[in-house]
Structure 1
Amino acid sequence: MTATPGYAAPLSAAGARLVGGLESRTVETARDATHAIFDEIPAYAASHSERFFSDVCQHVERNIATLICTLRRGGPPTEEELVFLRAPTARRAQHEIALDEFLHAFRIGLRHIWRSLVRDADDDESRAVALTLVDPVAEYINIASTRVAEVYLEVEQLLLAEGERVRRDVLEDLLGAAGVRPGPRAEALGAAGLSTGASFVVVSALADRRMEPSTLRTAATAIGRVVARNTAPLAVQRGDEIVAVLPVGPGCGRAVADALDALRARLAAEDMPLRIGVSTIVTGLVQAPAAYREACVARAMSSEARHVMCLCGITAFDYLTLTGDGTAARMVAPEIAAFVAEDLAAGGVLTDTLLAYAAADLNVKLTAERLFVHVNTAHKRLARIAERSGRDLRRLNDVIELLIAIKLAAAAAGRSSG
């Protein structure tokens, strides 16, 4: 019988004794290895159950049996002998054990198998024989771990595709005001942190230029995880659009806006520029269609100066002026429109002063402090505004009329005014 390079066939008497000792200790070795796997790898410890422990233990036992066959035959494992790897590998992927963690567990198991194999090497002859087994054991590890990685990635791609399909179906159910049926779709909602009465926002994003589908999926994943690090956020690529439904707490509008602003900047730096619109915070999944419409309106309101328009981070007044159409602009008095246009063209000193004055509740001293100018300077600027606009800044209605004109002009120019 001719041996495969690196293998000894047939095994010597000493080699057969070592392999026989390993075979007799199969159950003990597998159990010790499994305990080590659960002790050393947090993902396994976090998923501990008797059923899972038994599954891992049986996997190690099968590895021992297959390795013994290769050593006795004097050749590497065949495809048929490695078929047993597929089922446990698929279960690890479904159990959300990462590939590096799974391979780590595989190496721990084989470490214990090797120790058991050489346990009976208690004289010079058997120790010398043990050294001849290093190459075939290493060969088994290389071939088996490569096969494990191939199967894992294959299963992972299938799981990702199935998960994406389910999430897309869930999103279409929500946006179409259809109830989500029990089963995988309801499970996807739960995994995304969304219950029937949950508070959430809807995000709609479009790329500033055409992107590859894989790039859009990367951006969708990032948006899905911007608020809560869910294992499976509800963020879906719909053609060229990214739509996400993100669970948020009441009053978290500003945090959402800030997080998305920061994310958009990071994505742009990685050549993934987006225009992003975010709805108001709504409660109850039945509000999803309305929230999606809001997100689309918000995205349409974005500009070069404001790439992320988050409705949950602005006031109703800002929303009304930002969405103002040509009719609203034509309703502004000509003298006010002229004043605002001229001042914005000159740098906006007076309009900025008026905005600060309104934000300070018409308190001139506080306005001066916020603008870092002397109070007399603030008084002079307000007097110039009154003179040029023909309005009395002590009257609330006149101030509101001026604010509307400023906001409309700034929105039309794509300039953020507050």
Structure 2
Amino acid sequence: MSIPKRVRVQAASERASVSNLELFFDLVFVYAMTQVTDLFAHDTSAVNLLRSVLVSGVLWWCWVGYSWLGNIVRADEGVIKVGMFVAMGATFIVALTIPEAFDDIPGGLSGPVMFAVGYFVVRVVHLALFWVVSREDPQLRGQLVKWVPSIVISTTLLLIASQTEGTVQTLLWLAALAGDYIGTMLAGEDWRLRSPSHFAERHGLIVIVALGESIVSIGIGVAALPISWPIIVATMLGLAISGLLWWAYFDVTSIAVEHALDQADGARQIKIARNSYTFGHLPLVIAVIGLSLGLKKVLSYVGDEHHHKLGDALYGIPLFSLYGGVVLYLLALVFFKWYAVRTVTVPRLVAAVVLVALTPLAAALPALVSLGILTAVTIALIAYETTKFADPREQIRHGSNE
């Protein structure tokens, strides 16, 4: 019996671009990241920091599987399109339940259970769609079979975690994420990557989504406050940092890694896709979420005269998130490029060390000054790289057009 055209899958082209449906799919993650930032901002304890990181890891795994799927077949055609919408709905439920993913709010359904069920649906739909795609590809089908245990382990552990609390619950979450990551690593490199350009673009867009969420956090943080010069200065500094982090990723690094991904083949190409992108981009997203919290707290310090004075210092987890977010972002970019290109971006390592060294000083200075120092160091890094490596930068960005 022939398969109706309306439900058939359509292979993606080797130079495919990200589809509108995939962009629509990403909108759910804009909301989800906002929810994580709010979860973190609500309680800036070390325990809640760990919980926020764990939630980010689960959300990332909801997203990343569909980036591989959309690279093999068109996400906006046939049964894949239907599956994408189902996954989008389940992911939105996951996002809605983030505030009670660990501690259930009295009344209604159990938040931890609904979070786990939503995650289970996202993973099952993804596996089912990949199973359909691999029906005429024995190698890919075999890869899926080797990958199934990681799905079973992670989803089962999260479901069990929804029935527990405290330290046991946190440990089960850690085990669930470890099952996903280790299971994916052990499953091998028999995946398919049809379009390196699509894959790189897909991950670049999620970085933009994360950086956009940091800007949203800045706006939300001052929306209810009367405009003032400290608020204007703080928002411009926050926007500058987001723009500089965009520059650090997109100006050269993403292009160089995309070239390496495109030129590699076989197992090496799959390893770059998995390690530089699938694994390597999670720290980038977590870093921006941490930065968002730090920026939000700085804005509250400089704008809310009822609770803070302009000279109050940012300290503890909020300061760690602000400076640590940029440090983690730079280190993640160093790994992202190193694994693919095998070159270490030394200035970024130096900038990360400088920021770590400056953190104790920042804790003793007004929050706005601390933000200014962070911005100054980041500006200095980008300015140095742009001038010092002008010729290689030109070659990477425009050499193919000569």
TM-score interval, normalised by the smaller of the two chains: under 0.3
Higher helix content, 1 or 2: 2
Higher strand content, 1 or 2: 1
- Normalising to structure 1: TM-score of the pair? 0.23
- Normalising to structure 2: TM-score of the pair? 0.24
